[in-house]
Amino acid sequence: MDFNDTAEEAKFRAEARAFLEANCAPKSGARMQAESSEGAFMQRAKAYQKKKAEAGFAGLTWAKEHGGRGLAPIFSVIFGQEESKFDAPGAPFAIGLGMCIPTLIAFAADDQKKRYVGPALRGEEIWCQLFSEPAAGSDVAGLKTKAVRDGADWIVNGQKVWTSGAHYSDFGILLVRTNPDAEKHKGLTMFFLDMKSPGVEVRPIHQMSGGSNFNEVYFTDVRIPDAQRLGEPGQGWSVALVTLMNERLAVGGSPGPDYAEIMELARRMPGASGKGALLQDQAFRRQLADWYVSAEGYKLGRFRTMTALSKGQAPGPEASIGKILNANRLQDITNAAIEAEDHFGIICDDANAPMEGIFQQSYMWAPGLRIAGGTDEILKNIIAERVLGLPQDARADKGVAFKDLPAGR
Ligand SMILES: Cc1cc2nc3c(=O)[nH]c(=O)nc-3n(C[C@H](O)[C@H](O)[C@H](O)COP(=O)(O)OP(=O)(O)OC[C@H]3O[C@@H](n4cnc5c(N)ncnc54)[C@H](O)[C@@H]3O)c2cc1C
């Protein structure tokens, strides 16, 4: 394991930092507030993405023909590490650039790549991922939204749910069932579509944070040209695996306040006895020690991934392990912080809440993080089966046509 940047990596890190210092403010709790005012936030986000693309920091690993720099994945990780220290409004593009466009690059026709990749990279067009349904999340291959061939088009009917950013997206990639007579993984097909197509209805879901970042999306006789099919009919699962593989790489970093921030809060807040700071409280110190061990363990695991990437090797299972560790630690830390803040814990306002309200927004976001990009249980199954080599779960749906499954009716 190598803890240091190579000379080339160090040079790139310095360039990334200079770009970020010139174009973003340092991170603060105020960022969370700004993101809830969507119109102004979106303008700022699009302007930032444009500058990032112009400066050559967007699509770092993509081929030059697609507007990227053709760099090794380690440079993407380094830029992400530096960007996470700033108030960089990149969230609206994460799904499009992290998952949808890589899928398009792998499966779309050349003229389609020419048309769609550049505008997405520059933040002019936003993409969303239409996979999950009310009865198909972890088991996404059990989805029911169907597409039926009609001449040069397909006609789509059904419903998606939890579609992040559908309300501001211009395009989406859509996984549907085209053959209910085949086994569930074999009857799926992937398309991309214009989110303004007639028959597409986006209904925002109201979240406990006060925001509405994800949506229900209904399809009523929506026509999609066959030319917008990604991969062969019935091969949608293989196409979706390309998207999901990119999702696992994208999700995983520590997305909110961590050990250092809760330590700082514990210095500032009084302990339960009323004598001295919370930091002197023995029970709280034991928790702090656990979080420290978890955070350091993750950091060292991350060095292992970085060393592998730096040598041009594929990363190991750390992405799944890191996501479970980070999402659970974030939830534990924010729960403890809200409790420690006592009646200030209910103030979700960066001007009045302790430490600019960094714990309040994360408190409401942490449960979702344990679900998005694979739930804790699904990731544990992956680690058990693919890392530890334990036997697979029993599968009752193998060799059975989708329409004959209880869920398929
Ligand atoms: C913040 C956020 C953003 C999202 N954005 C998108 C998006 O943009 N596009 C999109 O398509 N989807 C999106 N999703 C949906 C997400 O992919 C699903 O919520 C996730 O896959 C879980 O599916 P589910 O909610 O249907 O839960 P279910 O799959 O119904 O799971 C319910 C519970 O059962 C457990 N469980 C399920 N199967 C197993 C098993 N085999 N073994 C053990 N336990 C099991 C789960 O761990 C969970 O605890 C988003 C979700 C969140 C939280």
Give the integer Cα–Cα distance in Å for 152 and 109. Answer: 16
Q: Which atom of ligand 1 is nearest to the CA of 377?
A: 47
218-245 average pLDDT score: 95
Domain spanning 7-89: which superfamily?
Answer: Acyl-CoA dehydrogenase/oxidase, N-terminal domain (1.10.540.10)
Residue spans of the domains in the chain: they are: 7-89, 127-234, 251-374
Q: Which atom of ligand 1 is nearest to the CA of 375?
A: 47
Question: Cα of 384 to ligand 1 centre, how many Å?
Answer: 19
Question: Cα of 135 to ligand 1 centre, how many Å?
Answer: 10
Cα end-to-end span (Å), the chain: 52
Helix (H, G, I), strand (E, B) or coil at 269: coil
Residue 31 pLDDT class (50, 70, 90 cuts)? very low
- Among protein residues, the one whose CA lies closest to atom 35 of ligand 1: 377
Helix (H, G, I), strand (E, B) or coil at 151: coil
Whole-prediction pTM: 0.92
Question: Cα of 51 to ligand 1 centre, how many Å?
Answer: 34
In CATH, what class is 127-234? mainly beta
306 or 115, which is more confident?
115
Give the integer Cα–Cα distance in Å for 203 and 190. Answer: 22
Question: Cα of 375 to ligand 1 centre, how many Å?
Answer: 6
294-315 average pLDDT score: 79
What confidence score (pLDDT) does residue 34 get? 45
Q: pLDDT digits over 154-188, tens only? A: 999 999 999 999 999 999 999 999 999 999 999 99
Which residue among the candidates 247, 318, 341, 356 is catalytic per the annotation? 247
Question: Cα of 232 to ligand 1 centre, how many Å?
Answer: 26
Q: Is 152 a residue whose pLDDT tops 50?
A: yes
What confidence score (pLDDT) does residue 225 get? 98
What confidence score (pLDDT) does residue 408 get? 65
247 catalytic residue (yes or no): yes
Give the integer Cα–Cα distance in Å for 191 and 397. Answer: 25
Q: pLDDT digits over 91-146, tens only? A: 999 999 999 999 999 999 999 999 999 999 999 999 999 999 999 999 999 999 99
- Enumerate residues 6+ apart whose C-beta is below 8 A from 109: 227
% the chain with pLDDT above 90: 67
Is residue 148 a contact partner of residue 159, using CB atoms and an 8 Å limit?
Answer: no
Kindly report the average pLDDT of the chain as a whole number.
90
- Among protein residues, the one whose CA lies closest to atom 25 of ligand 1: 137
Q: Which atom of ligand 1 is nearest to the CA of 128?
A: 8
230-238 average pLDDT score: 98
Q: What is the DSSP letter of 61?
A: T
Residue 88, amino acid: A
CATH 1.20.140.10 for the 251-374 domain, yes or no: yes
Is residue 183 a contact partner of residue 398, using CB atoms and an 8 Å limit?
Answer: yes
Q: Which atom of ligand 1 is nearest to the CA of 138?
A: 29
What confidence score (pLDDT) does residue 361 get? 84
What confidence score (pLDDT) does residue 236 get? 98
Q: Which residues line ligand 1 (CB under 6 A)?
A: 95, 128-132, 137-138, 162-164, 214, 368, 371-372, 375, 377-378, 381, 393
Q: Which of 11-15, 168-172, 286-290, 295-299 has the lowest mean pLDDT?
A: 295-299
Nearest to 102 by CA among 69, 140, 63: 63
